[in-house]
Amino acid sequence: MTVAGRVLISEQDIRRRVAEMGAQISADYPQGPLYLIGILKGSCFFLADLARAISTPVRIDFIGISSYGKNNTTSGEVKLTKDLDLSIEGCDVLVVEDIVDSGVTLNYLSHLLAQRKPRSMRIAALLDKPSRRQRAVEVKYSGFRIPDEFVVGYGLDYAEDYRALPDVRVLDGL
């Protein structure tokens, strides 16, 4: 497969920003364990790098979500496809996401996870497209604000391709 698209955020810029985010999170959570919850599948690379940039002890879990009608997000229909393995009751939780777009996924998840009575819960997202927001989401740790363009790489896919690119690229013409 030929590598497509133009680079929006370079590997070096991602590395630098993830290190900054990790330092900030470490300062905000001096005591562990901090429960990092990755949303499958897009967050896997960000979670792996962020976890290693956090000096506080972390525990790692994953949750799977599928949303219907991605191009018609006003429906806001979301389904849980894989639940957490760990209990988060009484724990400090950081939900780790690659991108916040309409906000449907994180809005749903925030409500779902809050019912499990964590001690605290915040969101870290590498990319944020605020212009697309349809549901309110409070992103405490945000890596980059990006324009409304279709991006792939560093976990983000187009029809399951491009996730393993080391940078974030724009696929024009989609």
Out of 9, 21, 25, 39, name the contact with ligand PRP by CB under 6 A.
Answer: 39
Q: What is the Cα–Cα distance from 116 to 100, expressed in whole angstroms?
A: 22
Q: Of 49, 92, 98, 101, which is the active-site residue?
A: 101
C-beta of residue 91 within 8 angstroms of C-beta of residue 33: yes
Site for ligand PRP in 70-129 (CB under 6 A): 73, 97-105
Alpha-carbon distances of 69 from 79, 104, 153, rounded to whole Å: 12, 11, 22
Residue 25 is a binding residue for ligand PRP (CB under 6 A)? no
Minimal distance in Å, beta carbon 157 to ligand PRP?
A: 5
Q: What is the Cα–Cα distance from 171 to 167, expressed in whole angstroms?
A: 13
Binding mask 155-174 vs ligand PRP (x if CB under 6 A, - otherwise)?
--x-----------------
Helices (H), the chain: 11-28, 44-53, 104-114
Count, residues near ligand PRP per rule CB under 6 A: 16
Q: Which residues make up the interface to ligand PRP (CB under 6 A)?
A: 39-42, 67, 73, 97-105, 157
